[in-house]
Structure formats: C-alpha cells, structure tokens
Amino acid sequence: MKTILCFGDSNTWGYDPDASLGSPFPIRHPHDVRWTGVLARDIGAGWRVIEEGQNGRTTVFDDPYVPCRRGRDYLPAALESHKPLDAVILMLGTNDLKAVFSAPANQIAEGAGVLAKMILTSDAGPEARAPKLLLVAPAAAGPFALVPDLGEKFAGAEAKAKRFPMLYRRLADTLGCAFLNAQDHVHPSRADGLHFDGASHLALGRAIAAAVAGLE
C-alpha cells in the first residue's frame, strides 16, 4: 500500500464555514465530505491518505496571536513520523495573507517553496528517497462582506490570492514537481470568504485524486 500525506491548513482539516458560523469553536465537515476523504475514496484501496491539516497554519510566518502554527516548524516531524511516504500534497499560503504579516504574494509563494524544498530533499520516501510532491496553489480569498472583522484581518488578501496560481506554478516548474491550481476547482464560501463548502471539497478531492494518479 502507498501512503500520501496531505499537509495544509484549515481547509485540509475540514473546517465547515456554515456550521462554524456563530459557534464558539470550529466544526469540521464529516470525514467523507472533506477533500481528503474524497481523495481517499477516489484514489482507491491501494493508497492510505493521512490528513495533516491545522487551523491557522502558515508556511514560515510566526503568528503573534495564534502560537504553534508555522508549517516550517512542524513539517519535519510530520515527514519523519509518517514515513515512508510515496507522495505529499502541500497546500498552504492562505493564512499568510493575514495583514499582520504584511507579506506580498511572491513572498508567500517563497514560503511555500521553503516547505517544498524540505520535502523534496528529505529521506521521507521509500528507500530513504524523497517523496513525490504535488504543490497546490491555494484557493481565492474573499469576499468578506458577511464577516467584516475577518475582512480586516485579511485586508488586501483578495488581490494577493489572485496571484497564487502564477506564482505557485512557476515555483513548481523551478522545483520540477507536480502542480495543481485549486482556484480552477473551488471557491471559498460566502459565509466567511476563506473556507470550502461540501461541493468545493468534492471538486477539489476529485481533482487532486486525478493529479495524484498522474504522479505514478
């Protein structure tokens, strides 16, 4: 059996924007609704899919208000604890859009590149080789009309997120890894402008399953 690690943020964790609206704590979509669950179902019994999503996770930025969210810090442990990994799906960058970081889009892509290089130079794959990598450009961000407080935290995010597909594709070409543009398949929920509803999870899971099949 082959193993695939899905390393991402709240959209990999399965944050349900409608159920979480007004809730004092985040609520997840059911496992079979999340894109990781769709991936597991579509890709078949020959693969084991590991969810490694965390709410608020960034690429390399340290959030002063939400500790222990920097992907660069946790990724090495995730690779080590789950190896051997045949493939890794990396989808991060949305939380890097927070105004507190003041990061331009190209710097966010550079942060994703730091993690991508960690994966591609690791010994986390079969026979201590590097696993294959599918780099996913995050979805669009906004609008935030229904959540103005969140809109302030993500001021300027809509324009920056539109540049992700070009920047992440260029990064994937440079690194020689596979690429998928989430913006071709999903749209953030109008409930909060960031997270996916069930239909988007379904579309993304199917697209990623097809992309993973192409890695072989």
Distance CA 180, CA 18 (A): 26
- In this prediction, residue 102 carries a pLDDT of 97
What's the Cα-to-Cα distance from 198 to each of 36, 98, 141, 193, 195, rounded to whole Å? 12, 25, 17, 14, 10
Distance CA 161, CA 156 (A): 9
- In this prediction, residue 44 carries a pLDDT of 87
Single-letter residue type at 121: T
Rounded average pLDDT over 188-193? 95
Distance CA 108, CA 161 (A): 10
- Whether this prediction's pTM lies above 0.95 is answered by yes
Question: What would the pLDDT profile of 119-176 be if each residue is shown by its tens digit?
Answer: 999 999 999 999 999 999 999 999 999 999 999 999 999 999 999 999 999 999 999 9
Domain boundaries, the chain: 2-213
Cross-strand bridge partners of residue 52: 7
User: By CB neighbour count within 10 A (0-12 exposed, 13-18 middle, 19+ buried), where does 170 fall?
Assistant: middle
Higher pLDDT, 173 or 215: 173
Rounded average pLDDT over 66-94? 97
Single-letter residue type at 18: D
In the sheet with 47-53, reading across from the earlier edge strand, the strands are: 47-53, 2-8, 87-91, 132-137, 178-181
Rounded average pLDDT over 86-92? 98
Instruction: State the fold for domain 2-213.
Output: Rossmann fold (3.40.50)
Which pLDDT band holds residue 21 (cuts at 50, 70, 90)?
A: confident
Largest CA distance in the chain: 50
Single-letter residue type at 7: F
Distance CA 22, CA 26 (A): 9
Rounded average pLDDT over 48-57? 98
- In this prediction, residue 22 carries a pLDDT of 83
For residue 205, give the nearest of 2, 51, 1, 27 by alpha carbon. 51
- In this prediction, residue 66 carries a pLDDT of 94
Which pLDDT band holds residue 216 (cuts at 50, 70, 90)?
A: low
- In this prediction, residue 31 carries a pLDDT of 97
% of the chain surpassing 90 pLDDT? 96
